[in-house]
């Protein structure tokens, strides 16, 4: 009997040498005549332990990590195929506290299954949601999504069911379901992990969306920086087609849905939904003025659902377990769970999926274990490059949409980037403006020109040139961009800058004029 | 041969890519990806060929090529190294790593080393934020990159064209 050994194919695990570990395990197994079946799973998201190797023992999976290629011989010597003792042993995977305390709904299968195997997916509850959906009317499916309280996980947190209802209510026509997989926010990788580790969940979610709103064609708009996700998605799409989960007659229901992946080309703005639609049409990713909403006039002018990866991948479990099951996680108007991503200068970075309501402090210290450098954490940017920097005095804030808005911050796509006390916050403010200048689509003036002027003003403040006057000018510029920009790029770039002006103003006074 | 004209082989490649994608909805970006994959870049001379193939104006095609950071209109080195410069990697020393990389290769961002081995590009997030700082060389992702790792990568890249 061969023993199942898991070595992730997740991009981050590969970036730390997982491929070499996998090859070394194969070679060593051959040399020792051990019967090993190597399975390339996604990552569990415990990135300080990657590459994390798991062995399937009769009573469950056992983890070893972080494993280097050079460790493989000693793992065999320690009889790791039977769970033998070794300095890298982490014990039963499910008992690792970081993982055990999580509430994984959307990412339940990520790191567990073989990502593109239909059999493994179905054995772990996959396609139960679609089966249920096929027995429901479109209005009932939309109602279930409404009842679940699911809000868009891409950042805007708009109720998903309302979007779907708007598309459903449009007269019959060619409608589309599009997935925004342009995960460009620094500090975020939950979409990537999902697409690499459980791509069929996204495919199933989009198929359900198509059946719910009457769309027969879907597109996944994937950023070009994610080649591993591109490969996993295409493998999974082929598997789904062959097994009749996509195509002209889904599961023998007579319903039709087809899906393809389109690659972006390195433009942050294409994560804005109207810009993404322009890009999907093969054009410059310039944003569209709304109205009309994409739900009414979207891709190629047709009614279109636009949802993020995590949003769509949360749909199967809502249909499979019921809206109430999902809604019972969370707090206030933030229902369900959110896969948070812990990144930057943090000791234990990774994926933490929990119900809304966890405090930022718990996330940073209980999960993260403090900074990677061992120095005090000074600032945390939540919600990507357009999110506010939060000072240590506010770490007790609860992680939900309303609580973060209450302190002038935002949750966005759930990325949390940690900085220690060596960070120069004036530099980070300058970077916020610089990033906006690089990535602006150019359609509106406050964003296109304002961001460049913002860099210049901050440079003058840092240099000590008419500092007080220029600080006033910067605040005024932030207000102009905030009020006058067409979309969130120009309209939210002021958030990190204003938060630095408010909480870390002393960093603008660090240098005296020379 | 003027800068604007394609070699026969290049023209043939471009025409093949156009033929492959032309009937798909919104095909221009797919075609540009195809051209860049086969030629290494999108030569300015390809723009009128694509425009004619899709019944678009040259300005429309040029506008799309220049809008997206990923497309380039000039040849690059044998290896393209994209160094992440976004916040998470900055929190883990990406600026110092970039300075090291530029010194090591003797070039700035968007330039190619004198031996033609490496082109250095900044990138804003590779989704490897729990393993910062990150870089991507061709299609391979690296995490927790130290200056020593960078130098090892350069040595390996110079040895293997």
Pick the CATH number of A118-327 from 3.40.50.11540, 3.40.1360.10, 3.90.45.10, 3.10.20.740: 3.40.50.11540
Read off the pLDDT of each residue in A478-490 and give the average, rounded to a whole number.
97
The minimal CB distance from B125 to the residues A225, A227, A441 is found for A225
Interchain CB distance below 8 Å, B141 and A265: no
Pick the CATH number of A3-100 from 3.90.1720.10, 3.40.50.720, 3.40.30.10, 3.90.180.10: 3.40.30.10
* CATH code of the region A330-420: 3.10.20.600
pLDDT band at B1 (very low <50, low <70, confident <90, very high): very low
pLDDT value of residue A12: 98
| Mean per-residue pLDDT over chain A, rounded | 97
Backbone φ and ψ of B71, nearest 5°: -85, 140
pLDDT digits (tens, 9 = 90+) for A252-308: 999 999 999 999 999 999 999 999 999 999 999 999 999 999 999 999 999 999 999
pLDDT digits (tens, 9 = 90+) for A210-231: 999 999 999 999 999 999 999 9
Q: Which residue has the tokens 């939060």?
A: A390
> How far does the CA of residue B58 sit from the closest CA of chain A (Å)?
13
Q: Among residues of chain A, what percentage have pLDDT more than 70?
A: 99
> How far does the CA of residue A413 sit from the closest CA of chain B (Å)?
13
Which residues in chain B have Cβ-Cβ distances shorter than 8 Å to A280?
26
Interchain CB distance below 8 Å, A281 and B26: yes
Q: Which residue of B has its CA nearest to A422?
A: B91
pLDDT value of residue B161: 61
Read off the pLDDT of each residue in A441-451 and give the average, rounded to a whole number.
97
Which residues in chain B have Cβ-Cβ distances shorter than 8 Å to A267?
67-70
Which residues in chain B have Cβ-Cβ distances shorter than 8 Å to A349?
129-131
Please state, in angstroms and rounded to a whole number, the distance separating the CA atoms of residues A62 and A50: 14
Interchain CB distance below 8 Å, B71 and A187: no
Domain boundaries for CATH 1.20.1440.230 within chain A: 425-509
Side-chain half-sphere CA neighbours of B80 within 13 A: 18
Q: Is the previous residue joined to A292 through a cis bond, with omega within 30 degrees of 0?
A: yes
**Which tokens in the block code for residue A278?**
């322009």
Query: Chain A contact for B144, CB < 8 A?
Result: yes
Which residues in chain B have Cβ-Cβ distances shorter than 8 Å to A286?
67
A292-295 long-range contacts (CB < 8 A, ≥24 apart) are A293/A166, A295/A163, A295/A166, A295/A167, A295/A170
Please state, in angstroms and rounded to a whole number, the distance separating the CA atoms of residues A16 and A65: 11
Read off the pLDDT of each residue in A70-86 and give the average, rounded to a whole number.
97
pLDDT digits (tens, 9 = 90+) for B110-156: 999 999 999 999 999 999 999 999 999 999 999 999 999 999 999 99
pLDDT value of residue A502: 98
Interchain CB distance below 8 Å, B87 and A187: yes
pLDDT digits (tens, 9 = 90+) for A242-264: 999 999 999 999 999 999 999 99
Interchain CB distance below 8 Å, B25 and A300: yes
3-state secondary structure at position A254 = coil
Which residues in chain B have Cβ-Cβ distances shorter than 8 Å to A15?
128, 131, 134, 140-143
Q: Which residues of B18-38 are buried (b: 16+ CB within 10 A; e: fewer)?
A: beebeeeebbbbbbbbbbbee
Q: Which strand (E) or helix (H) includes residue A219?
A: strand A217-222
Side-chain half-sphere CA neighbours of A327 within 13 A: 13
Label the pairing between strands A350-355 and A3-6.
Answer: unpaired
Which residues in chain B have Cβ-Cβ distances shorter than 8 Å to A268?
124
> How far does the CA of residue B113 sit from the closest CA of chain A (Å)?
23
B152: buried, middle or exposed (CB in 10 Å: 19+, 13-18, 0-12)?
exposed
Which residues in chain B have Cβ-Cβ distances shorter than 8 Å to A10?
none
> How far does the CA of residue B25 sit from the closest CA of chain A (Å)?
7
> Which of B54, B61, B84, B91 to probe by mutation at the A interface, max A CB count within 10 Å?
B91
> How far does the CA of residue A427 sit from the closest CA of chain B (Å)?
11
The minimal CB distance from B92 to the residues A281, A286, A344 is found for A344
Evaluate if residue B3 carries a pLDDT over 60.
no
pLDDT value of residue B158: 85
pLDDT digits (tens, 9 = 90+) for A156-213: 999 999 999 999 999 999 999 999 999 999 999 999 999 999 999 999 999 999 999 9
Interchain CB distance below 8 Å, A185 and B125: yes
pLDDT digits (tens, 9 = 90+) for B100-111: 999 999 999 999
Evaluate if residue A513 carries a pLDDT over 90.
no
Cβ pair B83, B122 in contact under 8 A: yes
Q: Which residue of A has its CA nearest to B62?
A: A284
Read off the pLDDT of each residue in A64-71 and give the average, rounded to a whole number.
98
Which residues in chain B have Cβ-Cβ distances shorter than 8 Å to A189?
127-130
Q: Which of A383, A381, A332, A375 is nearest to A355 (CA)?
A: A332
Please state, in angstroms and rounded to a whole number, the distance separating the CA atoms of residues A289 and A456: 29
Which residues in chain B have Cβ-Cβ distances shorter than 8 Å to A265?
29, 32-33, 68-71
**Other Cβ atoms closer than 10 A to A103:** 17
Which residues in chain B have Cβ-Cβ distances shorter than 8 Å to A176?
none
Which residues in chain B have Cβ-Cβ distances shorter than 8 Å to A421?
none
Interchain CB distance below 8 Å, B142 and A385: no
> How far does the CA of residue A370 sit from the closest CA of chain B (Å)?
13
pLDDT band at A1 (very low <50, low <70, confident <90, very high): confident
pLDDT value of residue B159: 81
Interchain CB distance below 8 Å, A282 and B27: yes
Read off the pLDDT of each residue in B7-11 and give the average, rounded to a whole number.
96
pLDDT band at A510 (very low <50, low <70, confident <90, very high): confident
3-state secondary structure at position A389 = strand
Read off the pLDDT of each residue in A4-8 and give the average, rounded to a whole number.
98
Could you tell me which residues are beta bridge partners of residue A159? A151
Cβ pair B46, B9 in contact under 8 A: no
Interchain CB distance below 8 Å, A16 and B143: yes
* CATH code of the region A425-509: 1.20.1440.230
Evaluate if residue B5 carries a pLDDT over 90.
no
Q: Is the previous residue joined to B133 through a cis bond, with omega within 30 degrees of 0?
A: yes
Q: Which of A61, A68, A58 is nearest to A18 (CA)?
A: A68
The minimal CB distance from B68 to the residues A184, A266, A346 is found for A266
**Other Cβ atoms closer than 10 A to A401:** 19
> How far does the CA of residue B93 sit from the closest CA of chain A (Å)?
9
**Which tokens in the block code for residue A353?**
């999926």
Domain boundaries for CATH 3.40.50.11540 within chain A: 118-327
pLDDT band at B2 (very low <50, low <70, confident <90, very high): very low
Superfamily per CATH, domain B79-159 = Glutaredoxin (3.40.30.10)
**Which residues 53-92 of B have a C-beta within 8 angstroms of A?**
60, 63-64, 67-71, 82, 86-92
pLDDT digits (tens, 9 = 90+) for B41-94: 999 999 999 999 999 999 999 999 999 999 999 999 999 999 999 999 999 999
The minimal CB distance from B91 to the residues A14, A268, A345 is found for A345
B106: buried, middle or exposed (CB in 10 Å: 19+, 13-18, 0-12)?
exposed
Domain boundaries for CATH 3.40.30.10 within chain A: 3-100
pLDDT value of residue A440: 97
The minimal CB distance from B87 to the residues A186, A268, A281 is found for A186
First to last CA, chain A: 74
**Other Cβ atoms closer than 10 A to A415:** 29
> How far does the CA of residue B27 sit from the closest CA of chain A (Å)?
6
> How far does the CA of residue B140 sit from the closest CA of chain A (Å)?
7
Say yes or no: ipTM exceeds 0.95: yes
> How far does the CA of residue A351 sit from the closest CA of chain B (Å)?
9
């Amino acid at each position: 009997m061969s023993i199942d050994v898991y070595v992730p194919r997740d991009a981050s695990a590969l970036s730390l040498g997982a491929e070499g570990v996998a090859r070394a395990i194969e070679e060593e197994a051959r040399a020792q005549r051990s019967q090993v079946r190597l399975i390339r799973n996604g990552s569990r998201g415990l990135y300080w332990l990657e590459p994390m190797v798991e062995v399937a023992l009769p009573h469950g999976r056992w983890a070893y990590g972080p494993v280097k290629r050079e460790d493989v011989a000693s793992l065999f010597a320690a009889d790791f195929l039977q769970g033998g003792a070794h300095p890298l042993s982490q014990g039963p995977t499910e008992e690792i506290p970081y993982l055990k305390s999580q509430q994984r709904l959307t990412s339940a299968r990520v790191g567990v299954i073989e990502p593109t195997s239909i059999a493994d997916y179905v054995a772990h509850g996959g396609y139960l949601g679609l089966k249920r959906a096929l027995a429901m009317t479109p209005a009932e499916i939309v109602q279930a999504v409404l009842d679940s309280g699911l809000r868009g996980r891409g950042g805007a947190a708009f109720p998903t069911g309302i979007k779907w209802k708007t598309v459903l209510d449009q007269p019959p026509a060619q409608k589309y379901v599009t997935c925004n997989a342009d995960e460009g926010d620094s500090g975020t990788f939950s979409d990537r992990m999902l697409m690499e580790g459980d791509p069929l969940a996204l495919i199933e979610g989009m198929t359900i969306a198509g059946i719910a709103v009457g769309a027969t064609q879907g597109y996944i708009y994937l950023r070009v920086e994610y080649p591993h996700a591109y490969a996993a998605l295409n493998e999974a799409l082929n598997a789904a087609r062959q097994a009749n989960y996509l195509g002209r007659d889904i599961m023998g229901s007579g319903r039709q849905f087809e899906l393809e992946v389109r690659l972006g080309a390195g433009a942050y703005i294409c994560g804005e939904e109207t810009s993404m639609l322009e890009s999907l049409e093969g054009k410059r990713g310039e944003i569209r003025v709304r109205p009309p909403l994409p739900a009414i006039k979207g891709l190629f002018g047709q009614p279109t659902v636009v949802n993020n990866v995590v949003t769509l991948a949360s749909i199967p479990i809502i249909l499979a377990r019921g809206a109430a099951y999902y809604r019972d996680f969370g707090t206030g108007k933030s229902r369900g769970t959110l896969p948070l991503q812990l990144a930057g200068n943090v000791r234990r970075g990774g994926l933490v999926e929990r119900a809304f309501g966890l405090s930022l402090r718990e996330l940073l210290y209980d999960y993260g274990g403090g900074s990677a450098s061992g120095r005090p954490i000074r600032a945390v940017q939540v919600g990507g490059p357009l999110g506010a920097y939060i000072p240590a005095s506010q770490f007790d804030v609860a992680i939900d949409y309303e609580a973060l808005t209450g302190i002038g911050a935002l949750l966005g796509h759930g990325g949390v980037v940690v900085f220690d006390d060596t960070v120069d916050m004036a530099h980070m403010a300058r970077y916020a403006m610089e990033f906006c200048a690089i990535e602006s689509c150019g359609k509106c003036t406050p964003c296109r020109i304002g961001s460049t002027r913002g860099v210049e003003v901050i440079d003058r403040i840092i240099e000590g040139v008419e500092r007080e006057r220029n600080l006033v000018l910067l605040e005024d510029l932030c207000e102009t961009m905030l009020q006058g920009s067409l979309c969130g790029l120009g309209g939210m770039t002021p958030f990190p800058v204003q938060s630095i002006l408010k909480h870390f103003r002393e960093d603008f006074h660090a240098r005296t004029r020379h | 041969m003027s800068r604007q004209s394609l070699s026969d082989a290049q023209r043939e490649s471009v025409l093949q890519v156009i033929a492959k994608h032309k009937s798909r909805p919104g095909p221009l970006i797919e075609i540009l990806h195809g051209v860049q994959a086969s030629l290494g870049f999108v030569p300015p001379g390809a723009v009128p060929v694509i425009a004619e193939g899709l019944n678009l104006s040259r300005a429309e095609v040029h506008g799309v090529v220049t809008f997206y950071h990923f497309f380039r209109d000039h040849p690059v080195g044998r290896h393209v190294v994209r160094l992440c410069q976004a916040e998470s990697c900055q929190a883990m020393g990406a600026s110092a790593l970039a300075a090291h990389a530029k010194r090591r290769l003797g070039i700035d961002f968007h330039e190619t080393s004198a031996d033609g081995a490496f082109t250095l590009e900044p990138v804003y997030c590779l989704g490897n934020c729990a393993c910062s700082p990150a870089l991507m060389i061709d299609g391979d992702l690296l995490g927790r990159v130290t200056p020593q790792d960078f130098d090892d990568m350069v040595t390996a890249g110079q040895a293997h064209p």
